[in-house]
Structure 1
Amino acid sequence: MISRYKFTLLMFLVCTLLPTSLQAEVVNLSWDNDLLTGTDRGYTNGVRLAYLTDTAEETDGKSARFARILRDELSFLSGIGASDSKHAVTLSLRQLMVTPEDITVAEPQFNDIPYAGHLSLSGTLWSWCADTMTGFGAHIGVFGPESGAESVQKWVHKATGSDKPQGWGNQLGTDVVGGIQAAHGRKLLQTGQSDNIEQRVSVIGSGLLSSFRTSAKTGLIWQLGRHLPMNFAPDYAGTSSTIALPGSFTESGSSWSVFIGFGVEYVGYSYIDDNADSYRFDEGPLIGQLGLGATWQWNHLQASVTLRASTSEDERHKDNFSFGTLSLSWKL
């Protein structure tokens, strides 16, 4: 069992580091920013580039063969390897940054959250059918100047004429972090016809065991639209960074949907909280989440916008927290 786990983890990391060797079926670019909801504090910005391979059930293609290898190696896991399911691998590169509310102050603001930048690579094997979706993955990343968060924020603020952030000299790091993740979703109800208006209710849960963040989430999602895709549990409740990719395109060539999701997260460990030291940041164990938005597909392109809000992550600062996500996917 140990040797199989090591082999699988190695395959994840190798193919994440060398994504250009794969012929990805879907490419996705997502951008998170709290300015989309009118704030500039806490989780300030995040960018994610993700690839979804061909399905393991395809007859040819390098990425299909890679997906088959992982499907067969991980078939001992619950939900993986079923004959009526499709399997594919998501590879993603993600950068995020956290800043205090006032970025014009150079000195540490111990009454607020510290500066933090994070860059990570991850790989997830997904298995899905009409009624369920399951994923298992691994990730590795770095905190600190090596994340590039300082350079990116300064460049963006210069390009947009915004205030120059002054406090990055106090950011957390340098540290290497990593871990494993899992997610499972299930459709509860679907009504209507695909060529007319449909609605669907689904539930999803996920877990993250990592030196970056250890948490468990669950959420309930309601969707309304025309030609709803097979993917019934996208990232509307903040349950997974790349769950929106598998089965997200419909065969009809065009579709639209609106959605709302409710979720709750239990946080057992947070790197930022654990390393905040003299800062007055103290992350609470329970966080409520709300997400709403819309998705539109035209042929091989899909765009979505999601607005998210949550209860405060800081037990000392009870202000609610919010940000928006813009996402564009291209099916090759």
Structure 2
Amino acid sequence: MKTTTFAYLALLAALGTSGAQAADEPRPEKGTLGILFENDWFNNADHNYTNGIEITYTTAPQDTPEWLVDTAHWLPFFTATSDVRTRYALGQTMFTPLDTTLANPSLTDRPYAGFLFGTFGLAGDSGTHLDQFQITIGVVGPMSIAGDTQSWLHGAIGDAKSKGWHYQLRNEPGLILQYERSIKLIPPKSILGLIFDFEPHYGAAVGNVYDFANIGAMARLGFNLPGDYGPMRIDPSLPGSNFFEPTGGISAYIFAGVDGRAIGRNIFLDGNTFEHSRSVSKMNLVYDYDLGAAVTFHAVRLSYTYVIRSREFKTQPAMSKFGAMALSFRF
């Protein structure tokens, strides 16, 4: 009887220890699905960068194929020991002039243009910085269906349709290669009962759609800051991360940031690469000023960013302003 009782107690202890170990083990990360909507409707406007939408999925590190992990670690600008995720995205952006009532838009205003694209990227998170490299392939012009999309949407909500899409940029395949690094220069620190961090970044893009080098920073203040690098955005923009790791049941933070770009090419202002099209004289330095907030509840993150963008071309009368809403799900 004593032997049986002892064996029973030993079994219970073993099971309890095993359960405690399992509870102490970190749970595997999850993939993240994100939906992003950017529009100048948030500023009661309808011109310049007027709409962007992107659907993106980022894998968990353990779901990244080994050959892609090896590829990321082979890249000279990635940290060899970082956790590597893969990112897939599909999106569309559209641009219109200030006066959309003109059937023949002003030659001094931004041309009508759209971009339909797909993106594949690698993200390496070392814990102190995030390296992101991505390849974007798409099409500019009528094949981007930006004009059809905007006309359908305006018709559906009873808004006036833009009349100058006939003069949009011509069809052209688009390619962008882009790299960015975000650095946790000040990792999360406790300040007056809240958590603060500071992340500078730098990067560059090359291709027939954009050529630029960028630099900037973002600061966050809140509680239970999730393990991420800020909300995602459609490039060119402040870099963020679609993935996030909750640190509590609920978290929230406000953020402010700036991104400055030295621009060599912007097809949406310079016009088509290989044939004649509408164009304007662009500004070579452009700045984004971002203010926003994000809330994370278990496996869901919701964010809003208000963006003030400096003038992008010399005959642009004023800065652009638009909003961005992003909703991400871990599963």
Q: Provide TM-score, normalisation by structure 2.
A: 0.84
Q: Is the aligned partner of 1:26 residue 2:32?
A: yes
User: What are the within-5 Å matches in structure 2 for residues 254-293 of structure 1?
Assistant: 254-275=250-271, 279=278, 281-293=280-292
1:129·1:230 contact (CA, 8 Å) conserved in 2? Answer: no
In the aligned structure 1, how far is the partner of 2:228 from the partner of 2:236?
14
Q: 1:240 to 1:263 in 2, by over 3 A?
A: closer
In the aligned structure 1, how far is the partner of 2:188 from the partner of 2:242?
23
Q: Tell me the secondary structure at the aligned position of residue 312 of structure 1.
A: coil
In the aligned structure 2, how far is the partner of 1:302 from the partner of 1:52?
14
Pick which of 70-79 and 127-136 moved more: 70-79
Query: How much has 1:40 moved relative to structure 2?
Result: 1.7
1:71·1:80 contact (CA, 8 Å) conserved in 2? Answer: no
From 53, 57, 72, the equivalent of 1:51 is 57
Aligned counterpart, 1:183: 180
Q: Is the aligned partner of 1:37 residue 2:33?
A: no
1:206·1:239 contact (CA, 8 Å) conserved in 2? Answer: no
Query: How much has 1:39 moved relative to structure 2?
Result: 2.1
Q: 1:174 to 1:225 in 2, by over 3 A?
A: same
What residue ranges of structure 2 are gaps of 5+ in the alignment? 1-29
Aligned counterpart, 2:127: 130
Query: How much has 1:237 moved relative to structure 2?
Result: 11
Q: Tell me the secondary structure at the aligned position of residue 281 of structure 1.
A: coil
Q: Tell me the secondary structure at the aligned position of residue 327 of structure 1.
A: strand
In the aligned structure 2, how far is the partner of 1:79 from the partner of 1:228?
27
In the aligned structure 2, how far is the partner of 1:137 from the partner of 1:212?
14
Q: 1:208 to 1:139 in 2, by over 3 A?
A: same
Q: Tell me the secondary structure at the aligned position of residue 166 of structure 2.
A: helix
In the aligned structure 1, how far is the partner of 2:278 from the partner of 2:246?
48
User: What are the within-5 Å matches in structure 2 for residues 101-180 of structure 1?
Assistant: 101-180=98-177
1:194·1:227 contact (CA, 8 Å) conserved in 2? Answer: no
In the aligned structure 2, how far is the partner of 1:322 from the partner of 1:79?
33
Q: Tell me the secondary structure at the aligned position of residue 75 of structure 1.
A: helix
**Aligned residues: CA RMSD:** 2.3
In the aligned structure 1, how far is the partner of 2:263 from the partner of 2:94?
19
Aligned counterpart, 2:69: 71
From 228, 238, 243, the equivalent of 2:240 is 243
Aligned counterpart, 1:231: 228
2:87·2:122 contact (CA, 8 Å) conserved in 1? Answer: yes
Deviations 1:276-306 (A, max 9, x none): 7675621111012200000001111111000
Letter of the aligned partner of 1:108 in structure 2? P
Q: Tell me the secondary structure at the aligned position of residue 151 of structure 1.
A: helix
Q: Tell me the secondary structure at the aligned position of residue 48 of structure 1.
A: strand
2:138·2:174 contact (CA, 8 Å) conserved in 1? Answer: yes
In the aligned structure 1, how far is the partner of 2:221 from the partner of 2:103?
47
Larger Rg: 2
2:269·2:313 contact (CA, 8 Å) conserved in 1? Answer: no
In the aligned structure 1, how far is the partner of 2:286 from the partner of 2:322?
15
2:231·2:326 contact (CA, 8 Å) conserved in 1? Answer: no
Q: Is the aligned partner of 1:296 residue 2:295?
A: yes
2:306·2:323 contact (CA, 8 Å) conserved in 1? Answer: yes
1:237·1:262 contact (CA, 8 Å) conserved in 2? Answer: no
Q: Provide TM-score, normalisation by structure 1.
A: 0.84
Q: Tell me the secondary structure at the aligned position of residue 133 of structure 1.
A: strand
In the aligned structure 2, how far is the partner of 1:191 from the partner of 1:331?
22
Letter of the aligned partner of 2:53 in structure 1? V
Query: How much has 1:35 moved relative to structure 2?
Result: 1.5
Letter of the aligned partner of 2:202 in structure 1? G
1:238·1:289 contact (CA, 8 Å) conserved in 2? Answer: no
Letter of the aligned partner of 2:268 in structure 1? I
What residue ranges of structure 1 are gaps of 5+ in the alignment? 1-23, 59-63
Letter of the aligned partner of 1:146 in structure 2? M
Letter of the aligned partner of 2:37 in structure 1? W
In the aligned structure 1, how far is the partner of 2:188 from the partner of 2:247?
19
Query: How much has 1:75 moved relative to structure 2?
Result: 2.0
Deviations 1:72-99 (A, max 9, x none): 123221353633x211011111100001
Q: Is the aligned partner of 1:86 residue 2:99?
A: no
Query: How much has 1:272 moved relative to structure 2?
Result: 2.2
Q: Is the aligned partner of 1:213 residue 2:213?
A: no
Letter of the aligned partner of 2:58 in structure 1? L
Q: Tell me the secondary structure at the aligned position of residue 114 of structure 1.
A: coil
In the aligned structure 1, how far is the partner of 2:278 from the partner of 2:269?
9
2:136·2:176 contact (CA, 8 Å) conserved in 1? Answer: yes
